[in-house]
Amino acid sequence: MTMEETSQTEWDEDGRLEVLTFDLQTEKFAVEAVLVREILDLLPETVVPGADRLVASVANFRGKIIPIADLRLAFGLPSADSTMDSRIVVVELDVDGVQTQIGIRTDKVHEVTTLHRDASETPPTVGLRWRRDYIRELVRTPQGVIVLANLARIFDPLLGGRGTTPVLAPALL
């Protein structure tokens, strides 16, 4: 996974992209629909001591141990208790040819929808409180702005290091 690949948004030839939209706190996020494997109710989680806080726990997903990620931490959003609407979105990322499943804790899952390139813009260099490389696109919709998250970039530092510093300092020892 090179930087070029991870930062390219894969619009189809008509400039459209199917995504799944969900809420983290009050913000509306999206991930590419092709990455989504399943949407689950919250699972019983097991804390992994010493792990990066972004992926602080694991859960049993059909006999596989998958990490549960809290993207709120990556986007500097305050964490909150889970609600009736909380769901886990299981995504599958390609890590050096190996399919790796990660569960993302969301506050509410909306729908699979189509984003249009014409309505999208790359994140501005100033005035953004989030790490710019965590965002592929900002897309205007009638319901407000949707943030298309760059999952590969967010999890990249955890997957073998590659010289980048971890997103958050691990709570070790």
Partner 1 sequence: MSETDPVAAFRVEAGEVLEQVEQGLLDLGHRLDDHDLIDAVFRGLHTLKGSGAMFGFDALASFTHHCETAFDRVRKNLTPATPQLIAVILSAQDHMRALIDGDGTERKAEGDAILAKLQAALDGAPAPTPAPAPVEQGWRLSLRLPPEAMQNGINPLTLLDELRTLGDCRVVARTEQVPLLGDLVPTHCMIGWDVELRGAVARADIEDVFIFVMDDMDLQIEQIGPALCDDAHDAAAAPAPFASPSPSASASASLSAPIDDPRPANAQEPAAAPTGRGAPKTGESVRVPAERLDLLMDRVGELVIVQSRLSQLAHSSAADVALHSISEEIERLASELRDTVMVLRMVPVATLFGRFRRLVHDIARDTGKTIELSTDGETTEVDKTVIERLADPLIHLIRNACDHGVEHPEQRLAAGKPVAGHVRLSARQEGGEVVITIRDDGHGIDRDRVRAKAESHGLIQPAQVVSDQELLQMIFHPGFSTAPQITSLSGRGVGMDVVKRTIESLRGTIDVESVLGQGSTVSLRIPLTLAIIDGLLIRVGDGRYVIPLGVVEECIELSLEEDLRSRGRSFITLRDRLVPFVRLREMFVTGTKPSVHQKIVIIATGTERVGLVVDQIIGSHQTVIKPMSPVHCNVPTFAGATILGDGGVALILDVVQLVALGQHQEERLRAVA
Alpha-carbon gap, residue 159 to 166, rounded angstroms: 10
**CB 15 to partner 1: min, Å:** 32
Smallest gap from residue 158 Cβ to partner 1 (A): 4
Q: For partner 1, give the closer residue by CB, 95 or 119.
A: 95
Q: In sequence order, what are the beta bridge partners of 148?
A: 30, 137
Q: Are 155 and 93 spatial neighbours (Cβ–Cβ below 8 Å)?
A: yes
Q: Are 19 and 112 in contact (CB under 8 A)?
A: yes
59: Cα within 13 Å, side-chain hemisphere: 19
Nearer to partner 1, 39 or 95 (CB): 95
As a residue count, the chain comes to 173
For the bound state, the minimum distance from the C-beta of residue 105 to partner 1, rounded and expressed in Å, comes to 14
Output the smallest distance, CB 101 to partner 1, in A: 8
When the beta carbons of 120 and 150 are compared against partner 1, the nearer one is 150
Cβ proximity to partner 1: between 52 and 137 the closer is 52
Contacts with partner 1 by CB under 8 A lie at 44, 46-52, 55, 58-60, 62-67, 69, 95, 98, 100-102, 155, 158-161, 166, 170-171, 173
Nearer to partner 1, 144 or 166 (CB): 166
Nearest approach in angstroms of CB 36 to partner 1 is 17
